[in-house]
A and B are shown apart, each in its own frame.
Chain A
Amino acid sequence: MNIRDLSKQPSPWLQESGPASDVVISSRIRLARNLAGYEFKPCLTPSRQQEVLDTLKTALLSVPADEPLFFFNIEEASALERELLAERYLISLPHARGEGPRGVVIAQNEYFSAMINEEDHLRMQVFASGQQLEKCFEHISRVDNHLETKVQFAFHPRYGYLTACPTNLGTGIRVSVMLHLPGLKMTGQTEKFFNAARDCNLAVRGLFGEGSEAVGDFYQLSNQVTLGVTEQEIVQNFSRNIVPKIVEYEQVARQRLFEDNPEAVEDKIHRSLAILRSARLISSQEALILLSHVRLGIHTGRIPDIPISKINELFLHIQPAHLQMQAGRTLSPDHRDILRAQIIRTALCPN
């Protein structure tokens, strides 16, 4: 497998429809670890950074896995390849745009990836479709346990697993879900959602957009506290309390939306689909807003003939690096808008 091959396949975790997938697009758990006996990234000399890379690469590739694991040297990858990996959530943008010896180990099915020499020596993540956090946790714990037979991680009797930034201290775990909340948005309840999240010490970020701006009603919700609670408590609180509550609120909101003003919502859904099916030029922002409406239409049975996987897949394939990989050359923003519109038309037109 090479990075180019990835651009053609849809991410399996976006392809499937896991539990509660009408609201929860996917689940992800990340663990941050650092090797004992090495400086953290800011004070690591390039040669020591290379040592960390070699050590962790060997350890990661020895993890027993159902799917083949691949290592990519990020320092040697092209800028476009690095951006492509970031668009697929396999590496972070800072890792893509960083410097020095660094890499990533990716499972062929993309459910697992591990960045080496990002902010911490090791940041690994496991994905699942829909709400399946406990499954993600099981998977990542298995990997972590195996790694601990091969390498030693920096651990402090009081603070637990040590991380370069004190905000990840302790368990080093980051639990997050990608949410689609058009119901809360259209009924003007997003503020309520944000407040509730803040009260629970959770972080909310926009998805797919630059910075923290939410585009098209997609949000990422994650824990902020990593110290003084067990991994199980964090995961279970998310999967058994927080997420089910949000799913319920969103479903009630959608129901109310269709009861109170069915014409307006259905107009929005079908008008959005019509634009996507006929546009010749479309920005990623507009596409995300319209795809959000169509996704709502599919999940509420208003658009019967388009599978949800097709919409989820488009989220990936209309991004700049994916478009340019597909075109085989760099494209200006205007040309990207043309190609984006063409890909969406092809995917969504009935014949």
Chain B
Amino acid sequence: MLCQSCKTQTATIHLTEITNGHRVETHLCQACAQKQGLAIQTQIPLNELLSTLLSVPPEAAAGTPPSLQEQKACPSCGMTLQRFSKETLLGCPQDYDVFEKNLLPLILRTQNDRSEHCGKVPADAGRVQEKQMRLAQLRRKLEEAVRREQYETAARLRDEIRKLQ
């Protein structure tokens, strides 16, 4: 691939910058990258991180077939890790719990090894948390019901979730 800037040298620096979900790819040779001050780009190439971190699910090592892991979808929004690794955006708040094992290494890498929020808490955090925990509980039950093919229970749970949202 040729350098985008000078169009003569081979591009050796490939940058992917994700700004507000918009992906900008840049391919430059060493000289042009240096000229643009990009050789020391400080952005974390998110999709690169994702592909390395998500390609080896922790479960695979524990014996679960990787195909099952890849197919796991959020019961609330249907998001899968595969889709996330392509789009770099999650589907719903629930995904942080559903994919926690896979997301945590990514969070640690991008957040300077921190994973606990210590900033502002909403004034009504107690109420919100309660509701969100109840929702999480219902969603887990729903997932279970679907897996056991108990569709009547699943339908009831889905209605309950809708009402609570």
Contact = CB atoms under 8 A, between A and B. Distances in A.
Contact of B107 (A93, A169, A230): A169
A28 to B, nearest CB: 14
A227 B114 contact: yes
Interface residues of B, number: 58
Interface in B76-94: 76-79, 83, 87-93
Contacts of A160: 117, 119-121
A195 to B, nearest CB: 6
A158 to B, nearest CB: 6
Contacts of A224: 42-44, 110, 112
Interface string A28-56: 00000010111111110000000000000
Contacts of B31: none
A267 interface: no
Most buried by A among B42, B78, B129: B42
B24 interface: yes
B107 A197 contact: no
B14 to A, nearest CB: 13
A159 B117 contact: yes
B135 to A, nearest CB: 8
Contact of A156 (B15, B18, B38, B117): B117
Question: Which applies to chain B's interface (DSSP): helix, strand, loop or mixed?
Answer: loop
A94 to B, nearest CB: 4
A211 B131 contact: no
Contacts of B38: 212-213
Contact of B129 (A145, A155, A197): A155
Interface string A54-74: 000000000000000000000
B112 A201 contact: yes
A228 B117 contact: yes
Contacts of A37: 135, 164-165
A34 B123 CA distance: 16
B111 A169 contact: yes
Interface string B150-165: 0000000000000011
A166 B106 contact: yes
Interface of A: 34, 36-43, 92-95, 118-119, 123, 141, 144-145, 148-149, 152-162, 164-167, 169-171, 173, 190-191, 194-195, 197-198, 201-206, 211-214, 224-231
- Which are the 10 A-B pairs with shortest beta-carbon distances? A228-B114, A160-B117, A43-B91, A37-B165, A94-B22, A43-B77, A119-B21, A171-B119, A227-B111, A154-B93
